[in-house]
Amino acid sequence: MTEHRPLGRTGVKVSPLTLGAMNFGTQGNPDHDESIRVIHAALDAGINVIDTADVYSQGESEVIVGKALSAGRRDDVVLATKVHGRLGDDVNQFGNSRRWIIREVEDSLRRLQTDWIDLYQVHRPEPDTDIDETLGALTDLVHQGKIRYIGTSTFQPSQIVEAQHVALARHRERPVTEQPPYSVLVRGIEREVLPVAQQHGLRVLSWSPLAGGWLSGRYRRDEQVAPSRRAERNPGRHDPDLPANRRKLKAVHALHDLADEAGLSVVHLALAFVLEHPAVTSAIIGPRTIEHLDAAIGADKITLDADLLDRIDEIVPPGTTLNDADAGYQPPALTDPARRRRIRRPA
């Protein structure tokens, strides 16, 4: 029997594992029937949260989730999706504006074959859009009954706080969740994001608890790793020749040794680690196959003792992200040179 956890102070109870749907569709598993079998197996195993996004496989993931829930299973699921990513060539077909949110929620509802979304999340920050613009649109959707709660994903600590303060000052709906990347290899959010979330009563649904596959069991010592589509799509996170990824591989080997010593799979060790943090309500797993799902099921039943957690800290110290490419978001203040340099005008 799954022990459900409170989603903050909403009164909603959710399973410690969330089924992430990013790998359903052409981006991962293009077989709709097989993906639906994975979804049904997850629900049968006690998972009651499904998290997707409009941008996953350009809407195909939402279509697959909608098909899976159409056979009488919608009412038992806390259904979450996200808005922000680009879905067309038009300059306004992305982002956090009222114009895009109001339009895109209708498309998500249609693809998901539902009248309401339980948790509608802003997929990434957008510093050039006033947060009140975003919260105002989301508040209207709550009042219309199209969404129940709102959340954010991969927001910086200052952005989390700003959203809370603006919501209170302008009488908007407050975000109730934050969805950041968190794993043994990606611990940067322990410095501020997790404490800030606790301070403001947000619950955390953490994505990539297996660090993009690094903690899936594929990277064992003295074994050749087959090339993956992930490595082709994102070499910064997966190219083994990069120094940051060599550091990750060294840590992964040490974690495999530790898991073997503890009688655990590295998948269960990694998921149990994430679920140990008191700010984390649920860890989002993203299986592409039944086998991937089976490897994760049961991790929420495992408790890591203090000695084992201390040894994990020795491998990857608290607050440390071994590769900045795994952080999920870099603010424009760092990525756009024009934002950190004075414009020199000709004399």
For residue 235, the model assigns a pLDDT of: 84
For residue 229, the model assigns a pLDDT of: 66
Running along the chain, 347 residues long, what does each successive block of 10 average in pLDDT? 86 98 96 98 97 97 98 94 95 96 98 98 96 98 98 97 98 98 98 97 97 91 66 82 94 97 98 97 97 97 97 98 94 87 69
CA 159, CA 131: separation in Å to the nearest integer? 9
For residue 220, the model assigns a pLDDT of: 82
For residue 194, the model assigns a pLDDT of: 98
Domains of the chain: 5-334 (3.20.20.100)
The answer to whether 209 touches 175, Cβ cutoff 8 Å, is: no
For residue 214, the model assigns a pLDDT of: 96
Q: How many CB atoms lie within 10 A of CB 201?
A: 12
Closest CA to 54 of 82, 92, 18, 25: 82
Whether residue 149 lies in the annotated active site: no
For residue 227, the model assigns a pLDDT of: 60
For residue 338, the model assigns a pLDDT of: 85
**Helices of type H across the chain:** 32-44, 60-69, 98-112, 131-143, 157-170, 193-199, 229-233, 235-238, 243-262, 266-276, 290-296, 306-315, 332-335
Given 56, 149, 182, 219, the catalytic residue = 56
AA letter at 306: A
Query: Looking at residue 156, what DSSP letter applies?
Result: -
